[in-house]
Each structure stands twice: as structure tokens, then as C-alpha cells.
Structure 1
Amino acid sequence: MAPNTDRLIRRMDALGADALVATTLENVRYLTGVSSVSLEIFPHTGECAAVVSRERPDRPYLVSSRCDLDQALDAEADLAGAVGFGTFHREAAGREGPDPRQVELGRLWRTGPVPATAAEALAGVLRGAGLDTARICLDTGALRPGALDTLADALPGARLRTDGADLLRWTRKVKTAPEERLLAAAAAVAEEGIRAVAAIAAPGVTERDLVREFERTVAGAGGRPRFTHIKVGAGAVLGQTRPTDTPLRRGDAVWFDVGCVLDGYWADIARVLTLGEPDARVRAYYDAMLAGTDRALAAAAPGMTGKELFDITVEAVREAGVPHYRRNHVGHGIGVEVYDRVLIGPDEEDVIEEGTVVNIETPYYEFGFGAVQVEDPFVVRSAGNELLTTLDRGLGVLA
């Protein structure tokens, strides 16, 4: 992980914040490199947190259940400390042997006392870090009911604010160079999945077969499939429904809108392939969608609003042959969330900055026709934007 700590400090200074508490899966991952098992598999009840001070944003504290305390060993940041709460049993601590990871977990295991709840553990970490009278921004996205009151009671001298999620989303809008590499690597895994699907596409192969091949390939490359929308022909207008046993036929278009995660960072890519020569309208409409993303890639610049880039993109599609084109948005930021800031929408005044990664997309859906779409991530730079994908962006025609 490589959080943008300089930008984080700048925002904390602007808000007058001394400390920040993250509680959601994405934000804990961003600050620590730990993908909390509890937050992922128990999204309504799981609890985990990361705490950073304005003085040392690079040395977070991790607060997790005792069950998940072993995940502290996977932290990519240099943890200032890790505290487990609740009840979980690992027997015979003190007999860890020569394994340094077991030794470290044993040390954490014996450190006491053990708080009963996440809120009590969080309050203890803040007190121990000297932040009990600090101005603290809280990301409340995964705080359990009553946790804020518990913190207020336990830290009467602290000034608690609930804008931590906004602070982190603002920080995450601009990527560091290591983050850009992680996003490019995630995109490469998704592209590998699309290439694998193209390799098996033949008459009689079904949507279900194509989805299975994409997900198998992504998993084999170390990624985690998160959504796999692959549809055949006119069925693409039903893009987010389950895959069917609809077989491929000569002339069919195959629509992809696929997403995966690699090392905590998202990929979200769209393409269309045809089995044999495409229908003339499929080619014309796909080329118009490509013209829109090409215009966006060339025109996006620091200081431009999401609305401005939206207008440029939609107008390019209309000029290229789909005059009735309309969309609710044509892209979004991407990072540890699939939709980071900014949204490329018709009313978005959020400003694109140097180092923002925009996932530009031009989907078109029509009943009786299907769908065409191009989608790729690129880094916005004042000296020229950088595409993070390598897959051919034209309409793919399979022999």
C-alpha cells in the first residue's frame, strides 16, 4: 500500500484535525494494507479500525477482533501497535517456537488487558497514543450503534467529528505512483481474463462458460473477481443478470463489463468482441463509444470538473454517430473503491486533479440490440494523460 500521506496531512491541517479513525474495509486497507476479514464477511456486524495521528500518518494503529489479530502480521504499513478485542482462543501462548510471525502474534496475544468491545479498544488506543484530548475525525461508515457515545464517554476531553470518511475520500482522489502501478496491475489481470475468454469463444460456447473462464483466469493470476458481466447478443441489455446457457453463434457480439481486485485495488474494464464479422450497427455504435472515450482521454486535464468532462465525452459520442446518446455518468475515479472520486456526471462540480485516475466509460444499452461499451482507467497529468490498459480498444473480431 502507498497512501498519499502528504495529501492526508494537508487535509487534516485544513480541518484542524489531530487524528483520524478509519472503520470501513476500504479505508482500513488504505491506511494499513490489512483487508479485514470481519469487515468483508460480516459487513453488518464486523468491526475493525485504523488510527493515525497527524504527526505520524505512516504509522497507523490497528484495532481488530482477537480472532482477526493475526492479520496485523499482514500489515503493509509499519504499525505503531495492534489491539484485539473480544473473546477468541489461541492456546499455549509463549510456546511459539522459532517462527518470528508466531512470536509476534504471541507478543500481541499476551498484551493486555483485553477490551470487551471495539469501541473500548479504540478509546484505549487513542488514550495510549496521547490523543485523548485531540481533535479526532471519525469515518463512521462501519461504527456500530452506540460506539460514538462510548467514545465520547471514554474520551471526554476529545473533540469528535464525523467527517473522517470525506477526509479519506478527498485524500484518495489523487493517487501516488505506487498506487498507479497497483491499478495498472489490477487492470492487466482483468485484461488477461478477457483474452482468455476470447481464446475459448466459439459457436456453442455459452455465457456461463465465458463467465467461468474469466473468473478462473483472474483467480489464477492472483486477482479476485468481483463482478463478471458477460452477455451474448441482444441479451446484453440485461447486463447484470446471471449468466445463462445462451450459446454463441456466428455474428454474435459478446459484451464485457468486468471487475476484479488485486492487492486491494480495483479494475473495471469494458469491451465488445464479435464472433466473426460484426453487424454493421454494432460496429458503428461501438466506434462511436470509442470516439467518446478517446476524446475524454485526450481532453481531461487538471482543474476540469466532472461535468465538463462529461459534456465533452457525450458530445463526442453524439458527433460520432449516436446523436441520441444519453447517460447518467460516463466514468468515475477508481482505487481501493471501484467508485473513488471523481464522478464524471452531468452535475458534478468535483474537480479532477493531477494524479486522479479516471475510469472513463461510454455504455450504450438498447432493447432488441444489446449493448456496446468501452471502459478504461487513465491517469490525469498536465503533461499528457496515461492509459493504464494495454488491451486493444477497438471492436474485437474473432475469426
Structure 2
Amino acid sequence: MIKSDGFSDTHIEQFRRWQRVSFEVLGDVADQLVPGMTERDATRLAVRTFAREGARRYFHPPVALFGQRTALPEPWTTEDFYPTDYELRDGDAIIMDASPIFDGFVVDTSISRAVGPQPGHARLMADNLTYRDRVLAAVRAGATCREIALDVDHDLTARGYQNRHGKHPEAVLGHQVVQLRDSGTLPDTPIEPFDAVVLGWFIKGIASAHTDGSMPPTWNDQPLCNHRAASGLWAVEPHIALGGTGVKWEELLVVDGRDAYWLDDQVPHLTGAPAAG
């Protein structure tokens, strides 16, 4: 039912195709956001747009965070990621995140924008992007997932930033993505906080890691992750904040027995994106 490694070049190309579609959808939605729209408006628009592209299931549905909510203010729980009636304002930061499933291929992407020119937001995002090269170099050098997560945390703290991916479920800097084989045979289900089939695979993988010492499908700074990243595809999502502004990016990293590389270098946080609003 679920394939997590051993992907062919054709599979990799499909992941790349669908990651691009996911980024395009999030970008299209962000382009339409104007002051007065709510997080609920944004996620409803995202669901409709993803549906037009063929996504009917999600590992997790679209997330929209506006203003200070981009910084995941304390106290923060998983339920706080659900969209609210907060209305977008001039000067607000925006994070859009979604993990759609296209033809069985799970992708997970995030974009960060700001309403109007925001030099502080741009600097924050530029500093966060330094972890793209840093994470890749560390994976190639053989560092463990725990070592990489700790290194990122130490560096961002030294820069005066807050680690906010520590507020993600399982405190993940990253997690594996998979292919649902024979996904066409799965029944249609309402959009849930997490897809039951994929979530079940994650739960089983984490449980196995606790019992046999294997690498879990989650990547954080805990001793359980003191392993090199397993072969497959990993969604990497550093999330940092300063004051009431948070930024993140998320894209897929390919890891195999020979090398590691970013699935695609044509991603919006590298190619540039206009301000929202």
C-alpha cells in the first residue's frame, strides 16, 4: 500500500511534477490574498484550487497562518494550526502550507509571503534559507538527523531567532513522504487533519523505531533520530521567528545510497515571489 524508498527515476520525476503543482497552487492562492480575507478564506480557496489540479486527499490539508500566528505564539498546540477567522492586515506575514496527494504521490510544500514590502520579513527569510545548503551538506557528510536538527537549532538561536519547527507535530525539522500505491482503490474520505492511511504508516514507523532502534520517519533533535536519513524523500521545513513574525519554507530532499539532493531547484523561495496583497 505504501512505498517509502526504492523510487525509480520515473517516480522521482512524478514527485517533482507534483511538488511544482503544489507550489503553484499555494502561490496562486497567496496572490489572491488581500487585507480583510481570513485564514479560513485562504484554506477554502486552496482546497478548491488543489481539487482542480486533481488532489482529493491530503496527508494534511492546507494551512494558512497570518500575522503573529506565523510565529506560533505560546501556548501553541497542533489544533492551533487549524484556520481561524483572523483577518489579514497590511504588513502581515503569511505562511501557506499543504501536503496534497496527487495520484498517490504525497508532497509537502510551504511558502512565506508578506503583505507589502517588509524588509524585516525578507531578512528573516534570507537567513532561514541558509539552512537549505547547510542541511544538504550535512546529509552528504553523513551527519545524523539529530545532529543536523541540533546544529540548525544552535545556529538560529545564536542569530537571535526562535525555533518554531519545534512546535510542529513531533517537533519535526523534516519527515518522510511516500507514495500510496493503488491509491485509486481507496475510498473517498472527508478532509481530516491527517490522512488515516499515511498517519498509520507514520505511527507504525515511530513505534518500530522505539522497539528496534531504526530511524523513524520523523526528523527531529531527539535521540531516536540519531541515525542518518533513510533512503527516500524527506520534506524539510525549518521554521524560525523573530518577535511576532515567522517564516518557513518546505520542499523535498531526495536521499539514496549514493547521494542526497534537493528534488528541484526551481522553487519559489529561490526564484523569488511577489509580496501578497
Q: Normalising by the residue count of structure 2, what TM-score does the alignment of the two structures yield?
A: 0.69
Give aligned-pair identity as a percent: 22
Q: Does 1:271 align with 2:111?
A: yes
TM-superposed CA distance for 1:383, in Å, is: 5.1
In the TM superposition, what are the counterparts of 1:1-399 in structure 2 within 5 Å? Answer: 28-30=1-3, 172-224=4-56, 226=58, 227-236=61-70, 237=72, 240-278=80-118, 280=120, 282-301=121-140, 303-319=142-158, 321-322=159-160, 325=163, 327=166, 328-336=171-179, 337=198, 341-346=216-221, 347=223, 348-353=225-230, 355-364=231-240, 369-380=244-255, 382=258, 385-388=261-264, 390-393=266-269, 396=273, 397-398=275-276
Q: How many angstroms apart in 2 are the aligned matches of 1:304 and 1:180?
A: 24
Q: How many angstroms apart in 1 are the aligned matches of 2:160 and 2:35?
A: 30
**Residue aligned with 2:269, SS:** coil
Q: Which has the higher helix share?
A: 2
Instruction: Give the number of the structure whose alpha-carbon radius of gyration is greater.
Output: 1
Say what the alpha-carbon RMSD is for the aligned residues: 3.0
Q: How many angstroms apart in 2 are the aligned matches of 1:174 and 1:308?
A: 25
Conservation of the 8 A alpha-carbon contact between 2:92 and 2:115: yes
**Residue aligned with 1:398, SS:** coil
**Residue aligned with 1:248, SS:** coil
Please, which runs of 5 or more residues in structure 1 have no aligned partner?
1-27, 31-171
Q: How many angstroms apart in 2 are the aligned matches of 1:329 and 1:384?
A: 19
Q: Tell me: CA distance 1:356–1:301, structure 2 relative to 1, closer, same or farther (3 Å).
A: farther
2:173 aligned partner, one-letter code? V
Q: How many angstroms apart in 1 are the aligned matches of 2:218 and 2:144?
A: 9
Q: Normalising by the residue count of structure 1, what TM-score does the alignment of the two structures yield?
A: 0.50
Higher relative contact order (CA 8 A, sep 6+): 2
TM-superposed CA distance for 1:218, in Å, is: 0.9
Conservation of the 8 A alpha-carbon contact between 2:139 and 2:228: no
TM-superposed CA distance for 1:262, in Å, is: 0.8
Conservation of the 8 A alpha-carbon contact between 2:111 and 2:268: no
Q: How many angstroms apart in 1 are the aligned matches of 2:233 and 2:141?
A: 11
1:369 aligned partner, one-letter code? G
Structure-1 residue corresponding to 2:183: none
Conservation of the 8 A alpha-carbon contact between 1:182 and 1:263: no
2:247 aligned partner, one-letter code? V
Q: How many angstroms apart in 1 are the aligned matches of 2:116 and 2:17?
A: 30
Q: How many angstroms apart in 2 are the aligned matches of 1:193 and 1:352?
A: 29
